[in-house]
Amino acid sequence: MGRNPRFDVLFEPVRIGPVTAPNRFYQVPHASGMTNALPQVRARFRGVKAEGGWGVVCTGAVSIHPSSDDSPLPFASLWDDKDIRAHALMTDAVHEHGALAGIELWHGGACTLNRTSRLAPLSPSGMPWLSTHLGFMGNLRPRAMDAADIRDLLNWQAAGARRAMQAGFDIVYVYAGMGYLPYEFLLPEYNHRTDAYGGSIENRVRLVRELLEVTRDAVGNRCAVALRISLEELRGKSGVDAPSEAHEVVQLLAEIPDLWDVKMDSSPTDCAPSRFSPEGSHERIVNFVKQLTKKPVVGVGRFTSPDVMVSQVKRGILDLIGGARPSIADPFLPRKINEGREHEIRECIGCNICISSWHDGVPVRCTQNPTAGEEWRRGWHPERFEAAKSGSSILIVGGGPAGLECAVTLARRGYRVTIADAAKEFGGRLRFETRLPGLATWGRVVDWRLGQLRERPNVNLYPGSELNADDILASGHSHVVIATGARWTKMLFSTLEFPVGELEVPGVYTPDDLAAGIVPSGPVVVFDFDNYYMGGAVAEQLAKQTAGVTYVTTAGNASAWTFMTNELPLVHRALVKAGVSIHTLQRVTAFDGAAVTLADVYSGAEKRLACGSLVIVGMRKPRHDLYRALVARDADLEAAGIASITRIGDSLAPGAIVHAVHSGHRYAREFDTVVDSIDAELPYTRDFPV
């Protein structure tokens, strides 16, 4: 099957200064959690994207000096010549497939805390970034840069550019976005200087201009020079002779960089979750840039639809289609479009689990693509699978995320697979969760996998089929996988921060009860110590169904862990808009049918809230009754020819959807394989610095 002609424009080459991108698919710089300490992991992760058809593949942020130290958050460095070889592994991997390699040289300024280097952070005027989240708080404030510091910064950028060229990069960035040092010079809130670098917009843009110039001098005509810039705040500031300061900045620098990489200012808007923002949400901010420059423009917007991509190009919004999250969810997205297989694209769901991996300080993970970050250390390729080594047939009981991923991967390997679920529709937990506010896009987890399974002759699908132990013993399969998920409990929360004692009284519910169709009578209290999306989403949904919804949590914020996925401020806004009252740092200790008793997490001080129904979103337990019933019948299993019974996903250990998908994928990848190595006892190959 060939490419659909209406997508031809996406495969046109684009000249970027002295280099040419082979197509318009551009993997913009994004964090991967893979620092110089994991050079092989990083190289394979980026190289697979080039193999998948991305014409340009970039690094994440690469520090140019120890005064830009983001530890313990993962960041790469190019401080001296010893760093060059680690990056060369990545450029070699990208070039092997005909793509260009880009590097995002970075100085964090006042937004870095320099915990390891212990150097005073730098800023235009000594103004600190005062985060509201503990992981970004520090006590060392930045110092104001003098003329010598500015000269040093320009020298560090130039030295980084020369090393980048030695490492084999084709595009070298100046990064003036997301609150980092060059961006701080652009904003009057940070920049109070009275010299040639402060005051007017012409002065505030001077440092960015000089950074571009020294980068150009360093790389000559061997590399393109790109400017990555945040425009959201600048677009909101009125210009003197232009609609906004964003327009003025672009006019002043229009033809200096070889490429404009345009973005938003903060993670919740730049990497907006699908729960709150649609595909292409950046357009309203960046849509003017191409009108003011002749140089190519790249931008992002969680683009997964090729028709939307074509529209961006033909309407003059972008020249290159930027992808970060979509390139993680499906590294082969461009190749699938090119080969007329766009229906096979594994679309990003915008859950932002990938972003949480940066906050966690670990290699990137993805709900849709369990091979992300595992390409080198486990040898998992997103499109290639080891062929079946036996004629085994596998029965999977449970059609949620873990079961579906397990079935797809086993089927792609060539095994005979049967998957059964008691419900009339596959999807497991997602049958309910995708009906919650903003979460419909998460249905792609189910839709893509069912689409794959329905096309394969070696797969049998049996929805609406509740199986007991006798049914399984009589099924004729040689291996059984239990993927029956988990259940929410009615446990409360103790002073030791443990779940304790189920509250079995009338009027107490869990998300499972809501999924079954129960609508609690008001006023409703939602008690959340799960701290991910569920509690907030349930509260928002209930506010549409009944009056008087109150959200209570033991944490300091509603849905506190969603800070990790860029959702936290948006969750709070949504709850306020829905009229939900929020009580933080409180635990429920009692419920009598008319009121709940709350106790302050730290002081123990109590108060009562009117409450007709209590919904507890706390601890989950595996549904393992079927598994236990089977493993207790050893003789029957042997007689039935069943060689193994294995649990995966939430039925093994409850977690987020990403954990369930990874669990199902790992079972299927490792099924029937023999690891023959000195490190066979280790779950994956360890990487080391070069």
Distance CA 378, CA 318 (A): 37
Residues 6+ apart with CB under 8 A from 677: none
Q: How far is CA 69 from CA 5, 117, 183, 232, 478, in A?
A: 47, 7, 17, 25, 54
Predicted local confidence at residue 681, as pLDDT:
64
Give the confidence band of 673 by pLDDT, cuts at 50, 70, 90: confident
Bridge partners of 587?
599
268 close to 566: Cβ distance less than 8 angstroms: yes
Distance CA 644, CA 627 (A): 11
Predicted local confidence at residue 297, as pLDDT:
98
Distance CA 457, CA 476 (A): 18
Bridge partners of 259?
226
Predicted local confidence at residue 133, as pLDDT:
87
Element holding 417 (H helix, E strand): strand 416-420
Answer yes or no: is pLDDT of 442 > 90: yes
List, as one string, the DSSP characters of 479-501.
EEEE---EEE--EEE-TTS-EEE
pLDDT in tens, 169-216: 999 999 999 999 999 999 999 999 999 999 999 999 999 999 999 999
Candidates 347, 238, 261; CA nearest to 303 is 347
Residues 6+ apart with CB under 8 A from 433: 439, 442, 534, 537
Q: Using CB atoms within 10 A of its CB, is residue 180 exposed (0-12), middle (13-18) or buried (19+)?
A: buried
Distance CA 79, CA 457 (A): 54
Q: What is the mean pLDDT of residues 54-69?
A: 98
Residues 6+ apart with CB under 8 A from 352: 271, 273, 325, 565, 566, 567
Answer yes or no: is pLDDT of 296 > 80: yes
Distance CA 666, CA 675 (A): 14
The single-letter DSSP state of residue 343 is: G
Distance CA 657, CA 402 (A): 8
Where in 159-274 does DSSP place strands (E)? 171-176, 224-230, 259-263
List, as one string, the DSSP characters of 120-178.
PPEESSSPPP--SSGGG--SPPPEE--HHHHHHHHHHHHHHHHHHHHHT-SEEEEEE-T
Q: What is the mean pLDDT of residues 153-170?
A: 98
Give the confidence band of 134 by pLDDT, cuts at 50, 70, 90: confident
pLDDT in tens, 604-648: 999 999 999 999 999 999 999 999 999 999 999 999 999 999 999
Element holding 14 (H helix, E strand): strand 14-16
Question: Any idea of the CA torsion for 318, 324, 329, 334, to the nearest 10 degrees?
Answer: 40
Predicted local confidence at residue 429, as pLDDT:
98
Q: What are phi and psi of 167, to 5 degrees?
A: -75, -10
The single-letter DSSP state of residue 23 is: S
Give the confidence band of 682 by pLDDT, cuts at 50, 70, 90: confident
Give 500-507's long-range contacts (Cβ < 8 A, gap of 24+): 503/588, 503/591, 503/614, 503/616, 505/591, 505/592, 505/593, 506/593, 507/591, 507/593, 507/612, 507/613, 507/614
List, as one string, the DSSP characters of 418-454.
EEE-SSSSS-TTHHHHTTSTT-GGGGHHHHHHHHHHH
Helix-helix angle 84-95:39-51, to 10 degrees? 20
Chain mean pLDDT for the chain: 96
Answer yes or no: is pLDDT of 224 > 90: yes
Predicted local confidence at residue 143, as pLDDT:
97
pLDDT in tens, 497-512: 999 999 999 999 999 9
Question: Any idea of the CA torsion for 50, 54, 56, 58, to the nearest 10 degrees?
Answer: -70
% of the chain beyond a pLDDT of 70:
99
The single-letter DSSP state of residue 648 is: -
β-strand 76-77 against 259-263: which pairing, if any? unpaired
Give the confidence band of 678 by pLDDT, cuts at 50, 70, 90: very low
Q: Using CB atoms within 10 A of its CB, is residue 577 exposed (0-12), middle (13-18) or buried (19+)?
A: exposed
Six token digits for residue 74: 């993962």
Predicted local confidence at residue 135, as pLDDT:
85
Say which of 180, 190, 415, 667 is annotated catalytic: 180
Predicted local confidence at residue 667, as pLDDT:
97
Q: What is the mean pLDDT of residues 513-533?
A: 97
Amino acid at residue number 203: N
Answer yes or no: is pLDDT of 405 > 50: yes
Answer yes or no: is pLDDT of 677 > 80: no
Is 180 one of the catalytic residues? Answer: yes
Q: What is the pTM of this model?
A: 0.96
Bridge partners of 320?
298
Predicted local confidence at residue 462, as pLDDT:
98
